[in-house]
A = this chain, B = another copy of it.
Amino acid sequence: MNMQTRTPASSPADNGYGFSDRIQRQLEHAAHLCAGQGGRMTPQRRDVLGLILTATTPVGAYDLLEQLKTSGRKPAPPTVYRALDFLLEHGLIHRIERLSAFVPCTHLQHDHPHDHSHGPAETCLHSAQFLICRSCGGVTEIADAPRVLDVLKSICGKKNFTMQSASVEVEGVCEDCAPATRGQKGPAPAPN
């Protein structure tokens, strides 16, 4: 048996994704988080999370699959979907329903390497709110979500509906892209 307790990172043969230092720190942070929840951050899961963290826009399952193939292994869909399920369950990523694609939980992005009291598990597991830009494809996780959740909770309370998870997805044009689309046809006004 391997005494070296080889670090549960990408295997020597395929850690060639060249994850930046910043992302490697985030991956370590994530590993600690799910360790605390009794989860194991395996190489597969780590690679998938790393790829999602690296991307600037939501990543689809088959995009991940393609990228993973460039590495040593030749994974099939179940491999990716299993890794995604794990990451979702541990609050490390979110699924954008409208895009059938995945983004990292924003709490991983902000470096607070040892602040486990503010982990995703407590703040946004099973519930998240997003702004999706149609122009650049960027997705922003809304930080001041409690207000939205409070309204939803109050509505559910009135209807005796037991909320287990909730997703809010707003589609439109982000601040950076607004100038580009201005004057062309003008984005539709907000609903209602």
Contacts and interface: CB of A to CB of B under 8 A. Distances in A.
Q: Which 8 A-B pairs have the closest CB atoms?
A: A127-B191, A97-B97, A160-B175, A164-B172, A163-B190, A162-B173, A166-B170, A163-B172
Contact of A191 (B124, B144, B155, B192): B124
A9 interface: no
Chief secondary structure at chain A's binding surface: mixed
A75 interface: no
A172 B191 contact: no
Interface stretch (A24-32, A42-50, A62-70, A146-154): A146-154
B163 A170 contact: yes
A175 B127 CA distance: 21
A188 interface: yes
Contact of A171 (B145, B165, B188): B165
Contact of A123 (B168, B173, B192): B192
Contacts of A191: 124-127, 149, 163-166
